[in-house]
Structure 1
Amino acid sequence: MSPLFVGRARELAALGDGLVKARAGASSTLLVGGEAGVGKTRLIKEFTGHRAEDAQVLVGGCLELGTEGLPFAPFTAVLRGLVRRLGRDGVAALVPGGNTRGLARLSPEFGEPDKDGAEARARLFEQVLGLLERLAEERPVVLVIEDAHWADRSTRDLLSFLIRYQRTAARLLLVVTYRTDELHRTHPLRPLLAELGRVEWVTRVELRRLTRREAVALAAGILEREPSPADMDRIYSRSEGNPLFVEALLSEAGAHESLPESLRDLLLAGVERLPDETQELLRVASAGGQRIEHDLLTAVAGLGEHELSRALRPAVAGNVLVVDGEGYGFRHALIRESLHDDLLPGEHVRLHTRYAEALERDLSILPAPRGAIELAHHWHSAHDSTWALVSAWHAAAAARKSTAYDEQLRMLSRVLELWDQVPDAAERIGHDRIDVLKQTATVAHLAGEYERAIAMASAALADLDHDADPIRSAMVLRQRGLTRYDLGRDGYRDDLRLAAALVPADQPRLRGQVLESLSRMLHRPQDWQEKIDTARLAMEIGHEVGDANVEAHALINLTWAHSCYGDMEARLADYAKARRIAARDDAYNAVMRCAISESDALEGAGWHERAAQVARDGVEEAVQYGLARTSGTFLAINLAEPLVSLGRWDEALQVVEHALDLAPPAPYRASLQGFATDIALARGQFDRAEASLESSRSVLSRGTFRDQTVLPHLCREVRLLWVRGQLEEAVRAVGRVLEEQDLVISPRYSWPLLMTFAQLFGAVPPSSPSAPLAASLLTRLRELAPELAVEGDLQQAHQLTFRALTDADHVKDWDRAVGAWAALRQPYTEAKCLVGAAQAALSSGDRQGAAARLGRARELAGGLGATPLLEQLDVFARRARLGGASEDDGQPLGLTARELEVLREVTNGRSNREIAEELFISVKTVSVHVSNILSKLTVATRGEAAATAHRLGLFD
């Protein structure tokens, strides 16, 4: 290896800049790519060894077994290194809350892991990030993850999590290396790199090959003299500037007159000069992977300590192997790959068998779950179907303990692949094929492979006799029902109902779980009584068998089923009881769901302040449970919604932005962005609203979602079309909603739609081409409204407003609506209703009353920054000559009478020539008027001018 480090000034500078930012408190990530042998590892060593002396450097590498990575391998290595340096208690002291049961999934030093489940992985990820945050409080942390092209899915997920959320951990620099030449079109790292590359604080750096001048400098450093031009020509032409190949070719050029015939010869040339016993040991080591523990190599090689050291020393001295902690690693992965590929078929089987037998004798040589997974790999590579199946089954259990669900799924899939090759497979693992299919379905669900989960559950059900085996049938049906629900597929209710019918009475715990799941998934009005009865029974069973999780969840289901927004005190008492039950057994999933359901119910009742407080407390609880970025971001939705209702828009935006920084799941993100869209629409920030709505639209188009997500989104779509002046498109969009959605099912989310649609139809000019359709749709709205239930003060306020818009339009009706919104402390909707009340007062001849109502509306709208509403109020005041407008020229928005005439024609879609003919003026004069109009309205196009006129009702 050259003592000189050449040709990487730009890359070193990028790493240095990242460290400077970390020292200043701003975290960042560098993704360092390059082909094999280009010098990624050397770059990192140069940086960490000479440029990062003041930082804590943590290094972990991804490990490869054949084509499979090991779950969490780099993070396990980092954690073990910290334990060696700080001790177990020292590391435990750095974990937020002091609870290290999550870290036990990575290292056995921390005891037994906490409960399994979908949240277990989230807690593990939170604890790893929390550990890095605490470390960075002392001094900057540089976390290096090498060879990410070998990363398994669990490692990729954790890595993605850390990168997305690293901004919460000041003074953290993440460096990730990977081989670009390994990233074929379907490689799983490719989409992750593309996605992370769009993150603001992520920088991608790609190492290029060396120029000829740099290669000469590298060669001179190795030879301690400059090579001859002829030698350098040959070396550079063969190596093409790859530093590893330059080094190998220089070594060979000194020993032989001709260059090797192939790259494999080149890579193995240095090995072939070593003693025979060392070459044999390297062949043995190559079957163990890129890195191999000393104890495992000793056991497989069958050599004593003295003999092993004697054989190893030339390999280390020759820079083929490097000492790596408690084991050894090949200087370059290509050397190991070449050695392994060079094994004869018999050698390949024999060596992998020896590794498997050594691990069978003492699996503790390697940390869990690595030992179990490597054992499965070696038996599989040894082509021993029986032991490959058995070891894959045990490896799946080890992977589950580490929440490495993707790896567990891979191991279970291998068991199924090998099943027919092992006649006594069921006896070997103590489970039949149906059990394996059942477990695979569950794990596929946890891994997010929903389609596969349904397929596995269906395969198991095809082999099950419901009458002969009702217990397993019920378990598989429950799993398929839950997965179908998550995927938005029909049939989930049928699966859960059949599962409930199949569970025998002597299995109360399972029966309680199935009934609770069924009650939770019943949402249709026609299923309401069944939901109540099922939830009550599940709650009783959960209490009898001591299953606090089932009891608490069932009580939440029952409370929600009984939810009448007019009787909230009773419901709040039930939620408090559910919380006590869940806390009794540390059922944190139920505790979080209680906060979510209670805050949602409070908001639906119009108790906005209390809803916000419950949601805020829930966010803090989520942090304590290590679920800030899962349950916590969901609760952020429930916090943002009441803040929007209360008119605390800037505070709501802060909540939304903070939650989005945590990169929540896509459906959560769409809901959060929806509230940002509402505020942008109300403030006249239409481009921002459109961008936010487009982002939500892309999420919602990829799945099936409930009314609470879909109906507000459809309302925003219509509002955006309306404010853009696209009235015809807005009216047609309403028609599609009424045609495709059953609005009777969800009154809470349907009433806002009806109110918005009625407002839209009132803004459609009689001369508009869409007026007949609008009138027809308004009739349908009037027919639909009596079918919608009205529960609680919030829905009552919507109903009062709808009546004022569609049936009455009397001052007293508008004043009732205004009073309802004022009582709910919703200033924006109150202000909008005040406009209707002012118009009704003016129509009845009460100019003073109209002016007073407009004044109050202006006060509310000004406090919110609701610019479009302020403009509307300004135009209304001018036209009615009520005073209070911001201009004093007597015309709306400062337009002259002629400019208003021209704007009317522009709004009707006429060209300059058509306007000139209509108004008997020249085309040039029209053009001047149009330019003045655009300037005064501060818009760029005729379409935007027409949209403004429509929005303000200038020509109603």
Structure 2
Amino acid sequence: MLGLVETKSVSPVFVGRGEELHTLNEALARAGAGEPQALLIGGEAGVGKTRLVEEFATAACRQGAVVALGGCVEIGADGLPFAPFSTALRALRRELPEELAAAAAGQEEELTRLLPEIGDTITAQAAGRHDEEGMARLFELTARVLERVAADRTVVVALEDLHWADASTRHLLAYLFRTLRTGRLVVLATYRADDIHRRHPLRPLLAELDRLRTVRRIELARFNREEVGRQIAGILAAEPDPGQVDDIFERSDGNAFFVEELAVCATEGCRAGLTDSLRDLLLVRVEGMPESAQRVARIVAEGGSTVEYRLLAAVARLAEDDLIEALRAAVNANILLATPAGDGYRFRHSLVREAVGDDLLPGERSRLNRRYAEALEADPTLVPADERVMRLASYWYHAHDPAKALPAVLDASVEARRRNAYSEQLRLLERAMELWDTAPESVRDELRPVDYTEVYPPCGCDPATTPLRYLDLMAEAAVAGRLSGERERALKITKRALHLLEDEGDPLRAAWFWVQRSRLVQALARGDGWKELDTAQELVRGLPPSEVHAEVLANVANWSMLHEPGPEALSAAERAVEYARMVGAREIELNARLTLGGLTVDAGALDAGLAEMNEVRERALEEGVAHVAGRAYVNLPSELEGVGRDAEAVALLEEGIPFTRRFGLLDTEAWVWGNLSKSLYFLGRWDEAADAARNALRVGHSAKPQGAGALCLAHLALGRGDLAEAARQLTAARDYLGTHDTMPQQSVPLARITIGVAAGEGRLVDVRAEIDRALAAGFPPGTARYGWPLLLAAATAEADARSLPVAAQGRAEALARILKAAKKLTTGAPVWLAHERWVRAELARAEGQDTADTWSDVVTAFERLDRPYDLARVRHRLAAALLTASPGDDERDRARELLRLAHAVAEHLGARPLADSVALLAQRARLALTRVPDQRSADPAEALGLTSRERDVLRLVAAGRTNRQIAEELFISPKTASVHVSNILGKLGVSGRGEAAAVAHRLGLFTVDALGPAR
């Protein structure tokens, strides 16, 4: 109504802050070069943080940058979820509508949680799954949208008043600061340093960000006397009296805002009325206004950071002319400011607002909050739609009216859940539980679970017609706590709920809470969660099928698959599928079927289990169940790798990466990268495997997938002979994986790497101790894929150490233990059978009884697999066996060819220990490791008899292409590509694609540029 007016107490001259402004401008320049920048600006209230940001924003705009400002909103004691990000995104949408729409394309449904107008709000409210990755998914999408918008232009996102930020805003800001990698983007946030007491929720975030080298922190100091003098001169538009400067500098202590207040008071003749009280200094000009203006100021102080004009008019209940005159007086006194859009008012400084608010009597505050609530209920259009529910809940709560506050707070909790603001949802639900007993029973009877909760622990009644129960709120709060990371609070809620249920006789509801406790106990590293799951299982035993019953069985089956796979786990999975189908719980059914498929593979029915898992993946994709499809992209390739079908696994994993990234499934994406690293390792693509493992560490939101990435890097380092790096990554993997929740898929590979490092360092005693520990734990059914490599590592260590005197003592017992364990492991897949032969061959070598025939069987078994490194290792062993006795020319020729192939693979992979061992054996036997090409041709490819087309195909094989990709690139059929590959393998004398690539690399057939990026 009044628009913007000139602010006479603010100096038109920007004083000081030269160094700080230089830092900000330097960050802007770096961002313009494509390096995202993150900054924190702290300082006490009134020191000039906002003025610094305004000066920087003005300078940035002059240089062509787009500036989006957002402020944390305080309503009473409540922050609006994601308020500063919503405001900033809204500003970007105004400035760059087409660019933001393109950046958000395909993800509008998720992003409506931050910016409702970007999509169909009604659809968005009903859509989306709430799970542990929900917040991370929203954060990832927000980060990528900002990176895309800032791809071609410099964008500054400035967030003010972080000390008022809600938990979700703090989490999102921390995520942005950690993960921004590209784009011409500056993200800065300001906070009031003097408010950050020891228990302030912002304090842990600041400590976390201090550890990030990419985040720069600027602390604004108070002005010195010279700067105070320049500020006063700017305000007065004249050179001040030195005595006046001394007085104001002493009284303000260099605080810019206090300088302004004192300078204006001095010019207006109110100095005599001032005391040394900060409150008096802040209120002196408020008390000098007409009573109507003071009254309006008090109303604005209680309404929030900004109060819309129409809402203010409804609460003030003044005639419009009187209201305008009161506002004019407050604006002219520089107490209130009109918002830039001119549709509302706020205090010029939050310190004044707080002082005015603190001056209100308790009853006065309650009455004002009631007026705000009543006005908003009467006309919901008085405030922006995305703020309405939260503000109404805050107003009614601070009006101390439980009857009105309870449903309003519950409505706000639903809105917080819709936004994935689970921390705020938890706080609001706890507030609802606080209000529960004081709200009239008639009000509680009108509330329905279906309106306020997504979690329905069954009580044998219809949630649409049955009154909401206190236990329903506890269930919803427990889930909100788990999803927000507030697991301690969630655990306490489940404990209280189970205590209340002791006398209820409601086993299904109790079982549901025990399942939640199991998840929380695992997440908090308090145990493996089995005791809680077993309790839930006992509670539902013998009860009719229900969704809770199916969920309990599905969780039991999944836990068993990871910890104790076998017939009981398979049975639980089958019953979970059956029960889920009977009650129509589709997501539980798909999850249980995926578990069942994996257990079926582990039981030896490979084709049936893999087909079931693939069927689940296809159904989940068709039905849009993203989290199940994401899990399928982890588990199915893992099972394929476990049975030696790594090429198929890689194809699926490369599909899974963009899928998981699209839906922001960060932990799932990390697992996909970890599994991709393992399969690439076995396929002989070690450099790509290392990149994939590092991606698992970078992307992972939780510790376990990061542990898997570290384990892959340890495995690679061991193969390349870098024992120090292997040991370092092994320690990192142990730290990530922890000791509270051991699983064979983690503990056995950890033991295998431990044995490899100890063997490489010649610590045979430690090797035997580690294998004894692993064998004592045993290999449950379905863990052959982990058990065989472990036994192989132990047997190889014994064989390599057989000439050492220390090895003789205890060798027979150690070999007997390994052999006994080997007899118990299954050999149902060709890769397991090959390992079984390899283990037996190493045991024979350890006793000096291996022969060429022993190793020929092993080589034959591995020639059927696409595992070039393993094949190179056993070829080395066969060559050594051939050369041990007095070999004839045929044996020497065969050994030479075996060593040549093994050396080519080892050199290609950088497997230094194997390459050195092969070279040493060849040197001792006086065998050349290079094949002399036909001197008539200078082209090695021609000398090998490769046609022009076969050379093209070999180039693509060396670049890691599949037959299908080769066919697409050369415009031939996949069958023709397969024939060419077979011919090439024959001409090169190799058995697999990895070896063919190694030979091409050794002979220098193609340059790196010619190979191009592997797909």
TM-score of the two chains, using structure 1 as the length reference? 0.84
Q: Which of the residues 790, 795, 798 maps onto 2:827? A: 790
From the superposition, tell whether residues 525 and 139 of structure 1 become closer, same or farther in structure 2 (CA, over 3 Å): closer
Distance 1:576 1:703, change over 3 A: same
Aligned to 1:302: 317
Q: For residues 353 and 263 of structure 2, what CA distance do their matches in structure 1 show?
A: 20
1:831 aligns with: 872
Deviation at residue 47 of structure 1 after TM alignment: 0.9
Of 31, 49, 52, which residue of structure 1 is paired with 2:40? Answer: 31
Amino acid at match of 1:427: D
In structure 2, distance between residues paired with 1:703 and 1:309: 66
> How far off its partner does 1:92 sit?
4.6
State the AA in 2 paired with 1:522.
Answer: S
Residue among 661, 664, 669 paired with 1:623: 661
For residues 696-747 of structure 1, what are the alpha-carbon distances to aligned partners after superposition, in whole Å with 9 as ceiling and x for unaligned? 3332237524322333233334433444555555554445444567677732
Q: Are the aligned partners of 1:353 and 1:378 in contact in 2 as well (CA < 8 Å)? A: yes
CA distance in 2 between partners of 1:781 and 1:321 (Å): 81
Cα gap change, 1:820 to 1:627, in 2 (>3 Å): farther
Q: 2 CA distance for matches of 1:502 and 1:392?
A: 39
- Deviation (angstroms), 1:45: 0.8
What CA distance in whole angstroms lies between the structure 1 residues aligned with 2:764 and 2:219? 50
Q: What is the CA–CA distance in structure 2 between the aligned matches of 1:340 and 1:717, rounded to whole Å? A: 64
2:65 maps to what in 1?
55
Equivalent residues in 2 for 1:516-915, closer than 5 Å: 516-523=554-561, 528-540=566-578, 542-543=580-581, 547-564=585-602, 568-624=606-662, 626-627=663-664, 629-662=666-699, 664-701=701-738, 703-724=740-761, 729=766, 731-739=768-776, 746-764=783-801, 772=809, 776-807=813-844, 809-846=850-887, 848=892, 850-877=895-922
Alignment correspondent of 1:946: none
In the alignment, the residues of structure 2 paired with residue 203 and residue 767 of structure 1 have an alpha-carbon distance, to the nearest angstrom, of 57
Contact 2:714 2:730 in 1 (8 A): yes
| Distance of 2:502 and 2:23 partners within structure 1 | 63
C-alpha distance in 2 between matches for 1:411 and 1:864: 56
- Cα distance between partner residues in 2 of 1:794 and 1:229: 89
**What is the deviation of 1:587?**
1.5
Q: Which of residues 301, 319, 322 is equivalent to 2:334? A: 319
CA–CA distance in 2 between the matches of 1:526 and 1:655?
29
3-state DSSP of counterpart to 1:45: helix
**Alpha-carbon distance change, 267 to 766 in structure 1, aligned in 2, over 3 angstroms:** farther
C-alpha separation in 1, matches of 2:378 and 2:624: 39
Counterpart of 1:152, as a letter, is D
Match of residue 17 from structure 2 = 8
In structure 2, relative to structure 1, the CA distance for the partners of 1:562 and 1:735 (3 Å cut) is closer
CA deviation profile, 1:49-108 (whole Å, cap 9, x unmatched): 122331221111112345442211112222444555677x98555422264354156426
Q: Which amino acid aligns with 2:217?
A: R
Q: Distance in 1 between matches of 2:564 and 2:749?
A: 23
| Change over 3 Å in CA distance of 1:71–1:496 after alignment to 2 | same
**Preserved contact between residue 743 and residue 750 of structure 1 (Cα < 8 Å):** no
Shift of 1:605: 0.9
1:673–1:692 CA contact under 8 A, matched in 2: yes
CA drift of 1:607 comes to 0.7
Q: Aligned residue for 2:255?
A: 242
Partner of residue 283 from structure 1, selected from 280, 286, 298? 298
Q: Which amino acid aligns with 1:707?
A: P
Q: Structure 2 regions of 5+ residues with no counterpart?
A: 1-9, 448-466, 931-1015
Distance 1:268 1:252 in 2: 11
**Are the counterparts in 1 of residues 749 and 786 from structure 2 also a CA contact under 8 Å?**
yes
Relative to structure 1, the CA distance from residue 294 to residue 702 in structure 2 (aligned partners, 3 Å threshold; closer, same or farther) is farther
Helix, strand or coil: the match of 1:51? helix
Instruction: Note the C-alpha offset of 1:350.
Output: 2.1
In the superposition, relative to structure 1, how do residues 768 and 382 fare at CA in structure 2: closer, same or farther (>3 Å)? farther
Paired residue for 2:88?
78
- Quickly say closer, same or farther: Cα 1:679–1:200, change in 2 above 3 A: farther
Amino acid corresponding to residue 354 of structure 1 in structure 2: R
Q: Distance in 1 between matches of 2:487 and 2:706?
A: 20
Amino acid at match of 1:203: R
Q: CA 1:541 to 1:26, structure 2 compared with 1: closer, same or farther past 3 Å?
A: same
Q: What residue is the counterpart of 1:231 in the other structure?
A: 244
Contact 2:113 2:420 in 1 (8 A): no
Q: Give the C-alpha shift of residue 137 in structure 1.
A: 4.1
Letter of the aligned partner of 2:60 in structure 1? R
C-alpha deviation, 1:674, in angstroms: 2.0
Equivalent pair of 1:503/1:510 in contact (CA under 8 Å): no
- Structure 1 match to 2:275: 260
Whole-Å separation in 1 of the counterparts to 2:780 and 2:577: 31
Q: Partners of 1:622 and 1:250 in 2: how far apart?
A: 59
Structure 1 pair 64/524, CA: closer, same or farther in 2 (3 Å)? closer
**SS in structure 2 of the partner of residue 185 of structure 1:** coil
Alignment-derived partner of residue 354 in structure 1: 371
What amino acid maps onto 2:901 in structure 1? Answer: R
SS of the residue aligned with 1:6? Answer: coil
SS of equivalent residue, structure 1 residue 383: coil
Q: How many residues align?
A: 880
Q: 1:502, CA displacement in angstroms?
A: 6.6
CA distance in 1, matches of 2:760, 2:344: 67
Change (3 A) 1:279 1:803: same
**Gapped regions of structure 1 (runs ≥ 5):** 886-956
Q: Secondary structure at the match of 1:391?
A: helix
Residues 224-246 of structure 1 deviation map (CA, whole Å, 9 limit, x = unaligned): 23333332223223333222222
User: What is the rounded CA distance, in whole Å, between the counterparts of 1:275 and 1:363 in structure 2?
Assistant: 31
Tell me the distance in 2 between the aligned counterparts of 1:718 and 1:786. Answer: 21
1:193 positional shift: 3.0
**2:475 and 2:643 mapped to 1: Cα distance?**
42
Where does residue 381 of structure 1 map in the other structure?
Answer: 398
The reply to whether residue 391 of structure 1 matches residue 408 of structure 2 is: yes
What CA deviation, in whole Å up to 9, does each residue of 1:139-175 have, x standing for no partner? 222111112222222112222233333214x222211
Residue in 1 that maps onto 2:224:
211
In structure 2, relative to structure 1, the CA distance for the partners of 1:663 and 1:568 (3 Å cut) is closer
Question: Amino acid of the residue matched to residue 869 of structure 1?
Answer: L
Q: Classify 1:376/1:467 alpha carbon distance in 2 versus 1 (closer, same or farther; 3 Å).
A: closer
Match for residue 938 of structure 1?
none
3-state SS in 1 of match to 2:198: coil
Contact 2:70/2:160 (<8 A) preserved: yes
Amino acid aligned to 2:51: R
C-alpha offsets along residues 799-855 of structure 1, whole Å, 9 cap, x if unaligned? Answer: 222212223533333333334344332233333333433443343344825554433
Deviations 1:512-561 (A, max 9, x none): 44443443333279764444444344445555665442332232122112
* Correspondence for 1:443 among 480, 505, 526: 480
1:614 corresponds to which letter in structure 2? L
Query: Percent same amino acid at aligned positions?
Result: 36
The one-letter amino acid of 1:489's match is G
Q: 1:116, 1:70 → 2: CA distance? A: 22
Amino acid at match of 2:445: E
State the shift of 1:611 in Å.
Answer: 0.3
Deviation at 1:765, TM superposition (A): 7.0
Deviations 1:163-222 (A, max 9, x none): 333214x22221122222233334333333333344453322222222332222222222
1-side partners of 2:550 and 2:319: how far apart?
59
Contact kept in structure 2, 1:322 and 1:329, CA below 8 Å? yes
1:862 shift after superposition: 0.5
SS at match of 1:252: helix
CA distance in structure 1 between the partners assigned to 2:810 and 2:321 by the alignment: 93
